[in-house]
Structure 1
Amino acid sequence: MTGTNPTDRPHPAGTGASDDERRQLILTGEMLVRAGQLSQAEEVLRQALMRRPDDATATTHLARIMLRLGRTDDALRLLNDFLQSTKLPIPPELQLLRAQVLLDLRAWPEAITAFRNAIEAAPDNGSAELGLAIALGESGQAEASTTAARHAIAKGADSPGTRYVLGRALLAANRPDQAEDQLRQALTLQPHHVAAHSSLAELIWMRSGDIEAATERLDSALHAEPNLFELRIMKAKLLESAGDRPGALAMLEAGLARSAGALALRIAAAQTATHIDPARALNHAQHALQLGPGNASTVGAYADTLLAMGRTQELVAIANRLYEFNPNDNHAIALLLCAWRMLDDPRHHNLSDYSRVVQTSLIDAPVSWPDLPSYLGDLARGLRELHSLREHPIDQTLRFGTQVELHPEHSTDPAIRAFPQAIDGPIRRYLMKLGKGMDLLRRRQTGAYRLNGIWSVRLRPHGHHLNHFHGKGWISSACYIEMPATMGEASGQGWLKFGEPAIPTSPALAAEYFVRPEPGLLALFPSWMWHGTVPFHGSPEDRRLTMAFDLLPA
């Protein structure tokens, strides 16, 4: 006679036998999790939920298994189904878990609500306050993030991670002194906290412009732990950002002498060497391809070296490979534009029809201002207060200036808060003029848009933007708020330029198109288009103040 597993037989909900079997299934699932048998544990816990779909314990265990297996979306669906099915009070542990899942999915508004619900259910839970601080910080609510992080510390969640989150929030709230103090406290608690080291070094650099002071603590950490390649890459970025590319490359290659198989070091060395010695860069990129042949950053670094060496046919093949993997890869499109230009391929001329795809117009005066000059004056005053540091962030393209991230919807300054209203009309007119089509730009056109980041840059004399493209946008921009008189001269100082790649090429590719700035002017253009600015000269007090943003189709 064939036996049957008693856990496979359905029982009426609520019967004693069913409850006992359900509890036993949960215990079995817990043991399987501890044994590392996650798939078997998932099957057993699903059987428990068949007996009672609103079992909070089984749901919590099953959601955690899904998270360990990388199935974050499945975990959220499971937790949402539980919320809809139960009429019982929701356990605080499950509420916190759901909030953390939303945080992992970068669903900031939903995560903020969920963490607040978790705090209401368990007011003394410091972990919930920390999660709230992270979600608030990511959504641009810096002051609220600092408050939540301090609450987390007061409720016992005082850790290097919490101090790091508080430090980042204080920096975003334009309180650099307090931010530096918290980042130092994070490193006191955990001397090898990579993110805190990176943020502290960058902050010291932005405050002082002193590269030795910025890297002092990094050097101490690397002396103690030479194989912390994340910190080595961070120091190299700082050196390169300060204009010392040879020093940056030496730092990376010293790391490779210790850890030749570190993929991240290989990629960074290839990217840095591309500007100094393309053949050396190619060697690093080829090693990186052997270590991570399917890594998009590896393939991209290899493609950059091909561009620097003028190996256009190979470049087209590699860039097409990147594009086929992700048709919205702006790096791939920027590389293809260069290759097609070097090959005199008509596709370059069609895509780089600057008079069609680069458009300029004045922004609108928002309803609370009588005219555009009045609005620009108020906007400039509000922005100047935010530019309190001295130097640029690393990994950004500006030189001799500062950059601040903006979240107009959370700003207390009326002019900054009104900026999306000022640009809405010009954006919609640009999209309408652009029209629809199947080329690399217009194929994403929906007629609607959403903002994907807003920031402001203030440059001092000699300031400029290195040539670059925007990796996370569809349409990018430059909006001129305030500028010195030299900007209006025909010499081209401070002008926006298009077509010159960031990488020195063979043969050289010069800029093909220029835009002359003026206060209130908004330039819109494809995010994958190479662009930079011409340095400007002037008196020490002269400043070039701009705002910029990226758009995505909506």
Structure 2
Amino acid sequence: MNLAVLALGWLLLGGRVLPPASIVPAGTKGAAYYEQVGHALASWGQYQPAIRNFEKSLEVEPERLTARLSVARALANLGLGLPALEQVRLVLKADADNLAGNRLHGALLVQAGQLDQAERILREVVRRAPDDGLARKFLGLAYFAKKKLTPAEKELRESIRLRPLDPEPRRLLGQILLAAKRVGAAATALQSYLELRPDDLEVGLILADLYAGLGRHLDALALAVRLADQTPTNPKLMMGIGQTLLKLKRPDQAARYFTRALHLANDPEIVLPAASFVSQHEASRGRFNQAAAVLARVVKLKPQLLPPRLAQVRYYGLGGDWARAAAAARALVA
């Protein structure tokens, strides 16, 4: 019975999508089987149980280099770069020409900041395997970290050609093009990245800002609205969308998003600027009592700040709500 049959059986019995590690009885399967289970677990982000299965594979077959490399990858995904490097070096000690081992070695060295050595290793991997899109991605990253923007762009474009479904080279390419102040090309790269990763809100906001700067106002607005619909309870996102709409000279729409941020947040870094804009916006429309009510959030959160409290007294007075104006003034001098 292979892993696919076991997984299907687990689903049919009402189990979770991910079968538990205990589905593999200890000592009953070969090295390849444990490695296969490890890969299945790793594909769901279950790196620690994956490592246990890769180690079982190595117990059965200590010279199994693919299992040792898989341990290294899982350790790297857990942020354990040094133990991952130790595993890779064991692989390369056994097989110095191992392409996958050298590629991973280079990638880990980039992560560790050892850029010259990483570049040498990855250039050799690419020389030996020109169609290795993953190695080209890591080489592009090494070049980027060394501020070699032209070769970095070349390698990442090749990586995109060879691995069209990998979103990461597209994001890195966008960063490189932004660093080179090629804003239009950067927007194109980040747009293609978002097509593969539409859930990346940070990149979405960056792209909306780029569209606004390029004069593509409708694109910026459409993207901002899509991001808001995607994550309607994220106050930082609402702030970012509001700021983008301000750049597009749409203060009424911006005020709506800043107001949403106010309702969602308790963080002063969000509440203070959002309340400042919304209160001024309300006052500019002659809605003075609403402007004062907005500032109540700031007064409650940061009572030691005088400007919002003074503005609150003023707005209540302009709105004709003398009772609230007097109460706010008394609180100010208390």
TM range (shorter): 0.5 to 0.7
Task: Measure the CA separation in 1 of the matches of 2:157 and 2:299.
Answer: 47
C-alpha contact 2:103 2:122 (8 A) present in aligned 1: yes
What does 1:465-484 correspond to in 2, within 5 Å?
Answer: none
Higher helix share: 2
Equivalent residue of 1:261, what SS? helix
In structure 1, what is the equivalent of residue 51 of structure 2? 76
C-alpha contact 2:258 2:275 (8 A) present in aligned 1: no
Residue 237 of structure 1 pairs with residue 206 of structure 2:
yes
TM-score by length of 1: 0.40
Task: Measure the CA separation in 2 of the matches of 1:223 and 1:60.
Answer: 34
Q: 2:5 aligns with which of 21, 31, 54?
A: 31
What does 1:59-458 correspond to in 2, within 5 Å?
Answer: 59-80=34-55, 89-156=62-129, 158-190=131-163, 194-207=167-180, 210=181, 213-216=182-185, 218-219=187-188, 222=191, 229=198, 234=203, 236-237=205-206, 240=209, 251-257=219-225, 261-263=229-231, 268=237, 270-274=239-243, 276=246, 279-282=255-258, 285=261, 305-310=270-275, 342-344=302-304
In structure 2, what is the equivalent of residue 321 of structure 1? none
Q: Which AA in structure 2 matches 1:254?
A: A
Residue 100 of structure 1: CA displacement?
A: 1.0
Equivalent residue of 2:71, what SS? helix
Task: Measure the CA separation in 2 of the matches of 1:224 and 1:306.
Answer: 32
Residue 168 of structure 1: CA displacement?
A: 1.0
Residue by residue, what CA displacement relative to the aligned partner does 1:160-212 show, whole Å, maximum 9, x if unpaired? 433222111012233223212212323344567543333223323323xx4xx
Structure 1 residues not aligned, in runs of 5+: 1-26, 290-298, 312-337, 346-504, 509-554
Q: Which AA in structure 1 matches 2:153?
A: E
C-alpha contact 1:233 1:252 (8 A) present in aligned 2: no
Q: Which AA in structure 1 matches 2:71?
A: R
Equivalent residue of 2:79, what SS? coil
- Kindly indicate whether structure 1 or structure 2 has the higher relative contact order, using CA contacts under 8 Å at least 6 residues apart: 1
Instruction: Summarize the Cα distance change of 1:93–1:116 in structure 2 as closer, same or farther, 3 Å threshold.
Output: same
Instruction: Summarize the Cα distance change of 1:237–1:214 in structure 2 as closer, same or farther, 3 Å threshold.
Output: same
Instruction: Summarize the Cα distance change of 1:51–1:41 in structure 2 as closer, same or farther, 3 Å threshold.
Output: same
In structure 2, what is the equivalent of residue 323 of structure 1? none
Q: Which AA in structure 2 matches 1:31?
A: V
Identity of aligned residues (%): 15
Pairwise CA RMSD of aligned residues?
4.6
Q: Which AA in structure 1 matches 2:134?
A: G
Q: Which AA in structure 2 matches 1:218?
A: A
Residue by residue, what CA displacement relative to the aligned partner does 1:427-446 show, whole Å, maximum 9, x if unpaired? xxxxxxxxxxxxxxxxxxxx
Task: Measure the CA separation in 2 of the matches of 1:264 and 1:112.
Answer: 41
Q: Which AA in structure 1 matches 2:49?
A: D
Structure 2 residues not aligned, in runs of 5+: 12-16, 277-297, 311-334
Instruction: Summarize the Cα distance change of 1:231–1:32 in structure 2 as closer, same or farther, 3 Å threshold.
Output: closer
Higher strand share: 1
